[in-house]
Amino acid sequence: MNPSWKETTIHERNRKIFAEELDAFLPDAILDFHVHVFNAGVVPDGEPFSCAGHPIDRYDLQELAGDLDAAYPGRTSKAVCFGFPEVGYDRRKNNEYLAAACDSQQFFALRLFDPVEDEPAGVKKDLESGRFRGIKPYPNYVRKADVNAVEIPEMLPAWVMEIVNALGQIVMLHIPRKARLADPLNQRQIVELGNRYPKARIVLAHIGRAYYLKNVMGNLQALKAVPNLYYDLAMVNHWEVMEHLFQTVPADRILYGTDIPLALAPGKSVEINDQYTYVTPVPWELSISDDHGRLRFTSFLYEELRAIKKAVERLGLPRDFVQGLFYDNGMKLLKRATG
Ligand SMILES: [Zn+2]
């Protein structure tokens, strides 16, 4: 498979961006709280995953380790890893691989959680084993005809939240519904979840999927007081969204995350007329693609780093903030989630 689609320092153009814009900004240690890893055999034969238009049939820890080095040269990097939450993928094989292969030093595993097929005894045993730091539910696992009708409690039944809460573990939550963070029912159910399970740590992936300013403005007010709620920045490329988050929620709740391997692909997410889309050089079902070849892209990942840096600089935030965001905040969560 041709790895050249990855926009890291394997290409001179990205070495230049890294040297000129990112090297002086990034701390020595980086913890990526949002990475998808899947071993051979998880994806059905002949139906590769489309990584922003680049088909891949696996993404294992070895490949991840190499990509982290190429994305952040000279840094020590760690990652919180979970499988691909697709109903048609082999969830068990993916979970077993991560449980066995994550060393809990560099790589930490979350367990894919399926509310239809998983059973309390099995989940409890897995989470108590110390091999996982929490769970990764997903709207699709509820298997509703309309995935936009899914509600958070359907993704996370009380029995699994009781297990996670008792162990002080993590829920990596990709919230459902079309209006995302702006959805009033989501808002209410996120607050209820945090309050009902105070020892659990709830991470809103992609800042509650608010990739664009219209979706985030005003919608963190009810959430910021919930003490066990966290926000990962995965695939957010929008500096104004970052700035609003950094100004609004407590600094120790913000977690760097990328959505690697997706974030290694060339592209950028953009806001247009109160909506967002991805723009990519090649066709992808979630993007508008540059079929005229007008632009030279870098990775979503570097665009995210640029946005973080710009927001930090505009707000004049201290190095402590940067250190917390990229490493300390997440490491604290992992340490208390050992079970
Ligand atoms: Zn993801």
Per-residue pLDDT tens digits of the chain, which is 339 residues long:
456 899 999 999 999 999 999 999 999 999 999 999 999 999 999 999 999 999 999 999 999 999 999 999 999 999 999 999 999 999 999 999 999 999 999 999 999 999 999 999 999 999 999 999 999 999 999 999 999 999 999 999 999 999 999 999 999 999 999 999 999 999 999 999 999 999 999 999 999 999 999 999 999 999 999 999 999 999 999 999 999 999 999 999 999 999 999 999 999 999 999 999 999 999 999 999 999 999 999 999 999 999 999 999 999 999 999 999 999 999 999 999 986
Q: Which pLDDT value is given to residue 338?
A: 87
Strand ordering across the sheet containing 29-36: 29-36, 76-82, 107-109
Ligand 1 center to 136 CA (angstroms): 10
Ligand 1 center to 112 CA (angstroms): 12
Q: Decide if 80 contacts 68 (C-beta within 8 A).
A: no
Ligand 1 center to 32 CA (angstroms): 12
Question: Among all chains, which residue has been given the structure tokens 């946005």?
Answer: 307
Q: Decide if 248 contacts 273 (C-beta within 8 A).
A: no
pTM for the whole structure: 0.97
Ligand 1 center to 36 CA (angstroms): 6
Ligand 1 center to 234 CA (angstroms): 7
Ligand 1 center to 174 CA (angstroms): 8
Ligand 1 center to 303 CA (angstroms): 17
Token duo for residue 9: 């320092």
Q: Which pLDDT value is given to residue 1?
A: 45
Ligand 1 center to 35 CA (angstroms): 7
Ligand 1 center to 260 CA (angstroms): 8
Q: Which pLDDT value is given to residue 339?
A: 67
**Residue from 232, 235, 293, 295 nearest 265 by CA:** 235
Name the phi and psi angles at 278, rounded to 5.
Answer: -95, 150
93 Ramachandran zone, left/alpha/beta (phi>0; psi -120 to 50):
alpha
**What domains appear along the chain, each with residue ranges and CATH number?**
3-336 (3.20.20.140)
Ligand 1 center to 38 CA (angstroms): 12
110 vs 169: CA distance, rounded Å: 10
Ligand 1 center to 141 CA (angstroms): 14
25-28: long-range pairs with CB below 8 Å, 24+ = 25/305, 25/309, 25/312, 25/322, 26/72, 26/75, 26/305, 26/326, 27/75, 27/319, 27/322, 27/323, 27/326, 27/327, 28/75, 28/76
Token duo for residue 282: 């090649």
Ligand 1 center to 261 CA (angstroms): 9
Torsion of CA 16, 20, 22, 27, to 10 degrees: 120
